[in-house]
Structure 1
């Protein structure tokens, strides 16, 4: 409700010099008194426009700027959030806006749009929170789009394209069907089996001698290894055939890992059967051993089936700054204490510190508190330097660890929240689609059977869900409108 009174001032000639308008605003039941000269500091806003129109405008013009208007009392009412309006008023008095804790950034942006205030007046800290929220909503929208693409089928797709899409879901999306889930479990089992065979094959007691008397892997283990490679090869080829963008598939990081896990086996076969004719047997054996070491790359294939490893990768990427600080601290300490250790140990005849570069190894194992004991100081000053070095190493390692762990927790929690929000968003869309279909049937407008059948299963699961969804309110209404409605009801009571 707005109450306003006008006070006119005249100069010595009796002419009108200035006019000040005093207004009282009622925002969701909270009444405030404002002044026209303060609001006119930002004339493009809704409040300034209302102040300027209040003296010479009709009731219809004023009603267009508010939710309710009483001409008798000259009162204006706005059905908006009073807590957000407190932040809006900061613009007129302080020239910038800060969002208070507990206010949704996206709902606050709607409030700013309503009052005609641009986002450039937000403080930098609030803009960072807004950008973070927008990025999260974009990720949720992308996940929702992916789920919808899996649920819906394009009628314009050819039979070959449908087979390609079906094969892609079968190989890349374990949650799409039972068969895809079984394939993912089998692939995970083959990765573990191949890794175990690679380790067990190096045990001397399980190795056999070849014709030249060299120890090689047991034939049974080689057969298991061959079976695993055949599975990896078939899986890689099926995924390659079903991918829509072949070039992107080939140069993807995880697909490069898959290729490096498969390639050594076939290169070893080629070198074993064809390489002996072109080079010496010793060189062939060295190349074979080097390529066999590359089999350790297949352990990284576990990241494709483990969300925990993927979360760890994202957390390390977000902690590059902290990891860089850790390496910088350690590098400075290693250079400093290795140089001091070399200098202090020169007086001892049996010194183990023959050069500063050789002392780097001692500084590394000391600062990381490993302490192999292969190199150690023998003088008193050298031992004092060693004591200070491992104390500094503990401090240098402990300081960046907490931010790295915190980043991991944030990334893990964020991914869980985004996945849950995307699933519940789909459930809400299913409920709304089902309600709209029922309303159309009651009104005599029959909806197509294909559109309603897509959401039947999801709607059942949504009706059993008791999780609150902050993105969309009841029947698709935004949360800030529900909040304003509750404020209106409270104020009317």
Structure 2
């Protein structure tokens, strides 16, 4: 009716007591009655502001909600109702728990919309949020690396472009067909050099010099030299083209590369120059010790194997479990070796001469190896041995399952991140109109980041505003509606 007020009734002072106000919110089709007594516990939140804005006019009301029915006092929000059911708990319990199946990033955006501080989120849910943030950072990093590989900055000089080309050729097998060929060749050279190192120790394939010493066959020696030449060329090219040479030198895998190459040159120097400075026998011993260091080159396979990289990371994440394993074994070894030494002293032909010597017996027994060089001869000693290997099996089996879980979790996570990065790139290509110029300047600046040079290719890509939008590639706020799914 024309004479009916469209705003709530007020008292004689021109305002209604907030504690007595009852409002209805409709979030994504789910209606809920809320009371001012509860909402005013957190006055800075959006729902508490709804109560205080009723007397401020429609401009104030519609700045807080999507729609409003003054007759029902019902506020409409096009937001996720499942997330709202969790967020509303803050007014009753003082903390928020995120339901299983809700995307942590979407839930964080919902909390920001309802103006609820993240400190009210329970610690267990904060862990999920931090993990999701790390995943998005990793996806953004991978996408940025791929985009950098695609770009050619015309402002760079010829040497910089050549340096970047060599770096992609040697370090990024997925960047081009030539890079894949080089990666396969490097992998083959590693295998060939490892096989040659093993074959060189077979007496039938060795030759005898004039002094009666066994030496590697010249053919195997030539193959070894060719492999070392390839490794040296590969390392030098990677070092020259590296954008950060200090980080390159101190990197673990690059240190392994140096240890795989260095013995050859040191042996060469000692063979030709060392004879004049020391005895020939000492030179040969030094050369033999250095040649053993060639086994380090097998670790170069980790550069070309995702499985080995995953195993290394899983072991890093499993230091606690590995520490428990070593602690269990150490306690068992000490206890059972002391018991074995004590029980075997009554036997005249005992093999347990001391407790430290018994450590070896306890190690091979608890790990079920059992060489048989030391064994008990008394009945009590045999019972002690049976107990020790049973306890060893249990001690080893207990921490193994978490280590395997770490490996599987990391391996699956890497596959998911790789797929997500490729999916984001496909969406970027789709929105760019198949490579045609159409990207927004502001979006591209958000993509590349402020203060960073933008190569010419950046104008050809448009940031994807899909449901899997990577927030780290843009500073803009993108809130999802209840109609959008979280992938």
- Shared fold (TM-score, shorter chain, > 0.5): yes
**3-state SS, counterpart of residue 116 of structure 2:** coil
**3-state SS, counterpart of residue 480 of structure 2:** helix
5+ unaligned residues in a row in structure 1: which ranges?
10-15, 442-449, 460-467, 487-493
**In the aligned structure 2, how far is the partner of 1:273 from the partner of 1:264?**
14
Cα-to-partner distance string for 1:422-444 (whole Å, 9 max, x where unaligned): 11111111111228958799xxx
**In the aligned structure 1, how far is the partner of 2:439 from the partner of 2:232?**
52
1:71 Cα shift? 3.1
Q: Which runs of 4+ in 1 moved over 4 A?
A: 3-9, 16-19, 435-441, 450-456, 476-480
Aligned equivalent of 1:20? 20
1:480 Cα shift? 6.2
1:180 Cα shift? 0.8
Cα-to-partner distance string for 1:134-186 (whole Å, 9 max, x where unaligned): 01110111101100100112222111100000011111111111111111101
**In the aligned structure 2, how far is the partner of 1:436 from the partner of 1:39?**
51
CA RMSD of aligned residues (A): 2.8
**3-state SS, counterpart of residue 153 of structure 1:** coil
**In the aligned structure 2, how far is the partner of 1:369 from the partner of 1:471?**
53
Aligned equivalent of 1:182? 181
Cα distance change of structure 1 residues 19 and 138 upon mapping to structure 2, 3 Å threshold: closer
Cα distance change of structure 1 residues 392 and 471 upon mapping to structure 2, 3 Å threshold: farther
Contact 2:151/2:458, CA 8 A, preserved across alignment = no
Aligned equivalent of 1:462? none
Contact 1:91/1:97, CA 8 A, preserved across alignment = yes
Contact 2:310/2:410, CA 8 A, preserved across alignment = yes
Cα-to-partner distance string for 1:318-363 (whole Å, 9 max, x where unaligned): 1111111101100110011001111111111111111111000000
**In the aligned structure 1, how far is the partner of 2:329 from the partner of 2:92?**
50
Cα distance change of structure 1 residues 355 and 287 upon mapping to structure 2, 3 Å threshold: same
Cα distance change of structure 1 residues 144 and 114 upon mapping to structure 2, 3 Å threshold: same
**3-state SS, counterpart of residue 370 of structure 1:** coil
Contact 2:439/2:459, CA 8 A, preserved across alignment = no
**In the aligned structure 1, how far is the partner of 2:304 from the partner of 2:484?**
46
Aligned equivalent of 1:44? 44
**In the aligned structure 2, how far is the partner of 1:224 from the partner of 1:19?**
88
**In the aligned structure 2, how far is the partner of 1:356 from the partner of 1:167?**
59
**In the aligned structure 2, how far is the partner of 1:418 from the partner of 1:85?**
29
Aligned equivalent of 2:330? 331
Aligned equivalent of 1:33? 33
**3-state SS, counterpart of residue 235 of structure 1:** helix
Cα distance change of structure 1 residues 472 and 253 upon mapping to structure 2, 3 Å threshold: closer
What is the TM-score with the length of structure 2 in the denominator?
0.89
**In the aligned structure 2, how far is the partner of 1:405 from the partner of 1:223?**
42
**3-state SS, counterpart of residue 481 of structure 1:** coil
Cα distance change of structure 1 residues 320 and 17 upon mapping to structure 2, 3 Å threshold: closer
What is the TM-score with the length of structure 1 in the denominator?
0.88
Cα distance change of structure 1 residues 57 and 181 upon mapping to structure 2, 3 Å threshold: same
**In the aligned structure 1, how far is the partner of 2:220 from the partner of 2:191?**
14
**In the aligned structure 1, how far is the partner of 2:331 from the partner of 2:235?**
45
Aligned equivalent of 2:260? 261
Query: RCO (CA 8 Å, sep 6+): is it higher in 1 or 2?
Result: 2
Aligned equivalent of 1:290? 289
Counting only pairs closer than 5 Å after superposition, residues 346-361 of structure 1 correspond to structure 2 as 346-361=345-360
Contact 1:106/1:130, CA 8 A, preserved across alignment = yes
**In the aligned structure 2, how far is the partner of 1:469 from the partner of 1:95?**
31
Aligned equivalent of 1:427? 426
Contact 2:18/2:37, CA 8 A, preserved across alignment = no
Cα distance change of structure 1 residues 391 and 5 upon mapping to structure 2, 3 Å threshold: farther
Aligned equivalent of 1:414? 413
Counting only pairs closer than 5 Å after superposition, residues 241-320 of structure 1 correspond to structure 2 as 241-320=240-319
Cα-to-partner distance string for 1:275-305 (whole Å, 9 max, x where unaligned): 0000011110110000000000000000001
**In the aligned structure 2, how far is the partner of 1:81 from the partner of 1:170?**
47
**In the aligned structure 1, how far is the partner of 2:27 from the partner of 2:380?**
74
Aligned equivalent of 1:162? 161
Counting only pairs closer than 5 Å after superposition, residues 72-151 of structure 1 correspond to structure 2 as 72-151=71-150
